[in-house]
Structure 1
């Protein structure tokens, strides 16, 4: 009996996931529409890139790199120091949608991922608009 492929496998594993995360952060740095969320990240943002890569690896069914290194993600708690409202949520989602398109993730998979990303990003909001 074979198991269904994970999202991690479906997108192309570590290489494509790394490309996606790097493109996401590159867009944040290059595009003014993402200035709000870019300002929340350290410069250089290598540690943020690595943490998102590690988190998404496990979240997509690949190796649990983030948990192995840092323990439970506690996403909301770790983001509480940052004022996250609708604008920041939408910037994050737009940057991720753009990055997924740029790295060639198939449209139906992008839509599936965006639904999940929206739920998490919306849950991260911690300031009134």
Structure 2
């Protein structure tokens, strides 16, 4: 007989599901829009962040183990390929992480989950560098 402790809990569940993902992404883009140190990455985005905000919500939902909202519409993420037209070096990675870490601090209450998610996102951001 399986118990709850036998089933791995997804990061999506650990952080609070869709409500947390939505808030996380909203806070992330608010930071990108307002922090001086984020200007370098804000300039890479359209004036209206609505569309990309929705895409990131669907991507992070699936990436953290939630419902498959991204791949059913967009296919394989191919993140590096999708971002290859943007010069992403250490400064851009660091600006992205500054926005994301601030958003994580504000939205993910569980400190262990926040730390695990930060580690995973840091690795992902580092891998996105192409300059």
Q: Same fold (TM over 0.5)?
A: yes
* Aligned Cα root-mean-square deviation (Å): 1.1
TM-score normalised to structure 2 length:
0.92
How far apart, CA to CA, are the structure 1 residues paired with 2:20 and 2:113? 14
Write the deviation string for residues 7-32 of structure 1: whole angstroms up to 9, x where unpaired.
Answer: 11111110111000000001100111
Give the CA deviation at 1:104: 4.0
How far apart, CA to CA, are the structure 1 residues paired with 2:101 and 2:18? 19
* Unaligned stretches of 5+ residues in structure 1: none
Structure with greater contact order relative to length (CA < 8 Å, sep ≥ 6): 2
* Bigger radius of gyration: 2
Aligned equivalent of 1:8: 12
* Unaligned stretches of 5+ residues in structure 2: none
TM-score normalised to structure 1 length:
0.94
Q: How many residues align?
A: 127
Q: Which runs of 4+ in 1 moved over 4 A?
A: none
Write the deviation string for residues 31-90 of structure 1: whole angstroms up to 9, x where unpaired.
Answer: 111111111111101111111111111110001111011111000000000000000001
Aligned equivalent of 1:52: 56
